[in-house]
Amino acid sequence: MTPSGLATLVVDDEEAIRESLAAWLIKDGYRVETADSGESAVERLADHLFDIYLVDIKMPGMDGLELLSRIKVRQPDALIIVITAHGTVQTAVDAMKRGANDYICKPFDPEELSLIMERLAATKALRDENVALREQLMDRLDVSLEGIVAQSRAMQNIFATIEEVAPAMTPVLIQGETGVGKELVARALHQDSERSAGPFVALNCGAQSESLLESELFGHERGAFTGALRARRGRLEMASGGTLFLDEIGDISPKMQVSLLRVLEEKRFQRLGGSQWIDTDFRLVSATHRDLVHLIRQGRFREDFFYRINVIRIEIPPLRDRLEDVAPLADHFLERYSRETGKRILGLTQRALGILTAYHWPGNVRELRNVMERAVVLARGQMIGAEELGFLDASGEPCRLGPMSLREMEIAHIQAALDTCGWNVSRAARQLGVDRATLTRKLKRYRLQRP
């Protein structure tokens, strides 16, 4: 453990002690300042904090114990070693009770001093690592919750519902098209629940074969089937004490629905190939883009299972039904990707925003995110303009009108361009990336006329 640059304050009224301790620490790579009294140490604290404090207990005026308490108030995670004289162990014990990390009797054994300092440096490094990890985690959560950046009334209502139902253990069914951010809502439910400290375990049921899904959920004992070389915990087990999020629940077979129903009712299950009952206690949040009621009518989804998972329903509207959310989401992604790519991009031009809000967004928020990522990569200037969105179908109409031929799409696209430009043919041609003559020819061929 290298102490490289840890800021250290040595507080001692005896100059010889102060100076030789400082000299020792400096040789070992610490940054060292000294103070000759508790009072001057406190003054120093007003200015800046240190990683490690070495404090003499016995000083005239403010003593080490008092200083220790003052430091702890100002900086609860301060690392403090108190320096005592031999025969004053009781004071050292008091100091430890008040939050000192260690104590050392002067004169110190050189090995002991090295050891204590190394231990502190290691503690500090570990703490820093934990802080970094936590920040990383929050970053990731922040990123994953970004789907919930929203202004629309519809989404505000969803936030309110999340807040209201999150604390309970009630199963929640989230309905919405692909890409609207169902997992983000599930995570938000978990975060706001009383089990937020527990695990959030997600599984996409649509992406797996029936047998794989079964062993993913229930786990298996060694030798339960060919290839089961060792026992494995399933998601039902891992989610205990937290939230189990099953995405694409509409895709699971009626047989699996029965198995899951039993787990939900009995709160226990057996691993594949196992005979032992394993208790589990999780909150189930499931999601689907399918119309489950329709599936029930077709006999493909069990009604009893549906009522079990559908206690509270949250429906996330598609992005095209809440276009007010497009601008804040676009800004959000723009900021994120310009940060990631190091490009300085200030925003979207009015026209670019127009294109985004006119678009149908079949892939919802996920598609918008991908579009913004691509636009940032393509961007040459400080603004994202229509040029950067050229790969996006600007008119948006084709999707609304359903399947069209290429010819129909071209007509609709030209029509849209002309509408946007108030039938200024030169400008519309520029926007479409063709010259005026070409556009005029097309207008004739498609018999497009100014309304």
Partner 1 sequence: MTTSLDPVPAQVEQGPAIALVRLIPLGPVDDLSCQVVAANLQALMDLAADILPPFPVLPDAFMEARRQYDAVQLINALARAFPGPTLGLGLIGSDIATPILTYVLGESQLGGRMAVVSTYRLTDAGGRRKLERLVKVSLHEMAHVLGLGHCWQPQCLMRSPRNVAQLDELPMAFCDTCQYEIARRVRNLVREIRSTPDRH
Query: Which residues lie near partner 1 (CB under 8 A)?
Result: 2, 14, 16-17, 19-21, 23-24, 26-29, 106-111, 113-115
Of 114 and 350, which CB lies nearer to partner 1 in the complex structure?
114
Distance of CA 267 to the CA centre of its chain: 30
244 closest CA partner among 216, 220, 224? 216
Q: How far is the CB of 57 from partner 1 (least distance, A)?
A: 15
The helix (H) or strand (E) run that includes residue 81 is strand 79-85
**How does 274-306 read in b/e, with b if 16+ C-beta sit within 10 Å?**
beeebebebbbbbbbbeebeebeeeeebbeebb
**How does 16-45 read in b/e, with b if 16+ C-beta sit within 10 Å?**
ebbeebbebbeebebbbebbbbbbebbebb
- Residues 365, 329: contact at Cβ < 8 Å? yes
Q: How far is the CB of 110 from partner 1 (least distance, A)?
A: 5
Q: How far is the CB of 124 from partner 1 (least distance, A)?
A: 16
- Output the CA torsion 397→400→406→410 (10° steps): -10
Q: Is 158 helix (H, G, I), strand (E, B) or coil?
A: helix
Distances (CA, A) of 339 to 4, 134, 334, 342, 376: 30, 20, 8, 5, 10
Angle 43-48-49 (CA atoms, 0-180°, nearest 5)? 100
- Residues 301, 252: contact at Cβ < 8 Å? no
Of 10 and 256, which CB lies nearer to partner 1 in the complex structure?
10
Of 114 and 136, which CB lies nearer to partner 1 in the complex structure?
114
Of 109 and 210, which CB lies nearer to partner 1 in the complex structure?
109
Q: How far is the CB of 75 from partner 1 (least distance, A)?
A: 25
- At residue 8, φ and ψ (nearest 5 deg) are -125, 140
Q: How far is the CB of 32 from partner 1 (least distance, A)?
A: 11
Of 14 and 192, which CB lies nearer to partner 1 in the complex structure?
14
Q: How far is the CB of 99 from partner 1 (least distance, A)?
A: 23
Q: Tell me the C-alpha distance between 287 and 185, whole Å.
A: 10
Of 2 and 438, which CB lies nearer to partner 1 in the complex structure?
2
Q: How far is the CB of 17 from partner 1 (least distance, A)?
A: 5
Report DSSP letters for 420-449, one per residue. Answer: HTTT-HHHHHHHHTS-HHHHHHHHHHTT--
Of 26 and 133, which CB lies nearer to partner 1 in the complex structure?
26
Q: How far is the CB of 196 from partner 1 (least distance, A)?
A: 41
Q: How far is the CB of 31 from partner 1 (least distance, A)?
A: 11
* Phi/psi-derived region of residue 161, left when phi > 0, alpha when psi is between -120 and 50, beta in every other case: alpha
Q: How far is the CB of 12 from partner 1 (least distance, A)?
A: 9
- Output the CA torsion 432→434→438→440 (10° steps): 40
Of 89 and 160, which CB lies nearer to partner 1 in the complex structure?
89
What is the residue whose two structure tokens read 């200030």?
Answer: 346
Of 121 and 155, which CB lies nearer to partner 1 in the complex structure?
121
Of 32 and 185, which CB lies nearer to partner 1 in the complex structure?
32
Q: Tell me the C-alpha distance between 450 and 444, whole Å.
A: 12
Tokens representing 253 are: 């077979």
Tokens representing 345 are: 């991009």
